[in-house]
Amino acid sequence: MIQPTLEEGIPLHEVTFLVIDLETTGGSPTDSRITEIGAVTYRGGERLGTFHTLVNPGVPIPPFITRLTGIDDLEVADAPPLAAVLPSLLEFARGAVFVAHNARFDFSFLNVALERHGYDPLPPPPVCTARLARRIVWPDVPNVRLTTLVDHFRTPTRPRHRALADAEACAEVLHALLEIGGRLGIRTLGDLHLAVAARGRPNFGKIRLADDLPHAPGVYLFKDREGRVLYVGKSKDLRSRVRSYFYGDARRMVGELLERTVAVEGIPCGSELEALVLEARLIREHEPRFNRRGRTWRRYAYLKLDLAETYPRLKVVRSPSGRGAFLGPFGSPRVARLAKEALEDAFPLRRCTRPMGAATRFPPCVLAEMGRCLAPCDGRVGPERYGELVRSLISSLTSPGGLLGALEARMRALAAEERFEEAADARDRLRALAEALERGRRDAWLLGARELAFRDATGREIRFPRGILEEVDARVPYPRERADEVAAVRSFLARRPLTLLAADPPLAEPVAGGADLHRALARLRAAAADQGPAAATRRAPNGR
């Protein structure tokens, strides 16, 4: 059996290569048959063995194939059938890495033949000398045909559409390519596979920037000649990930990034989670031009019930500062406004922006006439009664069962009246509010714990001795500049099946409203998949 390519770190001089070529009756692996097999094995530049045989295909050889290869029906009449050849070929190839020119053809042909005769297919990936040449020597050569590469490298064996000669020519080209590749940093089997699989034009000239990086989880920073950080990324294996950039990438942004890069800094981390947090922190700190989310933290917003005012109102603010009750952070001011509108649908707070003291009076707006504002502006209510409304709102944020039920009932009523656009708006506002409430509870657990410990599916323990982010104040909401860090931890924990080992204080969903919040979000998220304006009400007509 061919060697599996799991040992990507093995040096190339220790790898046994099986360089193979097939002659066939046509171009289809399923409809055509093999007529000749030629193969050579090499290790460290030393030739180990040769395998060559004609094969009786059991079908007539087309005339055009005879003209191309010189192999006709008479020549293969006494040759063994493929079934008799395969055991010897597999034994010859044992422990070797498959190599061919335009390898997909030979690899597919041989695998179809193996499966047809009851053998396991060869493990991928094959090494293709045509693709490798395209990465290493193009455009110094006009094309990557085998004859062109033989002429370019002046190798002694010329291909002539016969299996053994073509395999030997391919092996000589392979060694010439590996010699150049070694100077460019292609030194292991993993490097070779990356080079063959690369997209676009590689940047081998800078691959040595990754030489000092460790095989460890961490964060890497691409820097320009002035020392500015161009890009921040994370990886489970710093060295391998950074090197992969230089093997070619078709994206224009990556090409521009590599052109500007003169240094790469790696910061090893103790775990993938630590790397996630550090990446978010460094992106916020440096705002690299090649990170799409370099400035996204500036978009975060909060909902504030301003308790410094005599008649508090809801505001969308950029930071959780001053005296008030807060909800957030939200991903954008637009989402924060949706949650604000949901609360204003349920509580008739004033919405005007005019400053008000206890004695301030001015004409009421249309919302007061509609009964959607208590209208302290014309003295209908005083600070005491208005304060009761504010306290009710704050209590509903802690125990949101009644609030969510009222908003869902309003949404269903709008749909029942066939006011579907308004029902869809009500659904979006309710979802923005419910998701913020759920996220706030989870973040309060994670940030406020004096100790947290989990075990993941691999048995490894993940511990947070003083909350998930030691530098972040345990209060919720936290500053927007740390929102990406908290989101990274939240996402990391949500993606993995974890067993809770320790929690101080114990993590427990508050009973009041917890189940209602969970059920409401489940209905809203399921309805969103339907993408219909009244989907939420159709799915849950009785709120169940």
CA pair distance 208, 389, nearest whole angstrom: 66
- Asked if residue 348 has a cis previous peptide bond (ω within 30° of 0), the answer is no
Lookup: tokens for 120: 């396991």
Among 3.30.1360.120, 2.40.10.220, 3.40.1440.10, 3.30.420.40, name the CATH number for the domain at 198-294.
Answer: 3.40.1440.10
CA pair distance 337, 334, nearest whole angstrom: 5
- In the chain, what are the domain boundaries? 12-192, 198-294, 299-398, 399-544
Three-class secondary structure of residue 189 per DSSP = helix
CA pair distance 134, 150, nearest whole angstrom: 14
pLDDT tens digit sequence for 273-282:
888 888 988 9
pLDDT tens digit sequence for 396-453:
888 888 888 888 888 888 888 888 888 888 888 989 998 898 888 888 877 777 777 8
pLDDT-based confidence at 521, cuts 50/70/90?
confident
The dihedral over CA atoms of 171, 172, 174, 178, expressed in degrees to the nearest 10, equals 140
pLDDT tens digit sequence for 168-209:
999 999 999 999 888 777 888 988 888 888 765 566 767 788
Are the C-beta atoms of 334 and 304 separated by less than 8 Å?
A: no
For 95-114, b/e burial (b = at least 16 CB within 10 A) is ebbbbbbbbebbbbbbbbbb
CB-based contacts of 57, cutoff 8 Å, min separation 6: 24, 25, 33, 34, 35, 76, 82
Work out the percent of the chain whose per-residue pLDDT is above 70. 89
**Taking the mean position of all CA atoms in its chain, how far away is CA 228?**
26
> Positive or negative CA dihedral for 92, 94, 99, 105?
positive
CA pair distance 455, 44, nearest whole angstrom: 45
Phi/psi at 81 (nearest 5 deg)?
-70, 165
Name the pairing type of β-strands 16-24 and 97-100.
parallel
Centre a 10 Å sphere on the Cβ of residue 147 and count the other Cβ atoms it contains.
13
CA pair distance 532, 298, nearest whole angstrom: 32
pLDDT tens digit sequence for 384-404:
899 999 999 998 888 888 888
CA pair distance 25, 45, nearest whole angstrom: 32
Counting Cβ atoms within 10 Å, is residue 205 exposed (0-12), middle (13-18) or buried (19+)? exposed
- Concatenate the DSSP letters of all residues of 382-432 into one string: -HHHHHHHHHHHHHHHHSTHHHHHHHHHHHHHHHHTT-HHHHHHHHHHHHH
Q: Is the pTM of this model over 0.75?
A: no
Q: Which CATH class is domain 12-192?
A: alpha beta
Rg value, the chain, Cα? 34
Phi/psi at 207 (nearest 5 deg)?
-65, -25
- Concatenate the DSSP letters of all residues of 296-335 into one string: GGGG-EEEEEETTSSS--EEEESS--SSEEEEEEESSHHH
Closest CA to 456 of 518, 413, 498: 498
pLDDT at 80 over 50: yes
Average pLDDT over residues 507-517: 63
Distances from the Cα of 231 to the Cα of 211, 256, 257, 489, angstroms: 18, 11, 8, 21
pLDDT tens digit sequence for 39-57:
999 999 999 999 999 999 9
Are the C-beta atoms of 536 and 523 separated by less than 8 Å?
A: yes
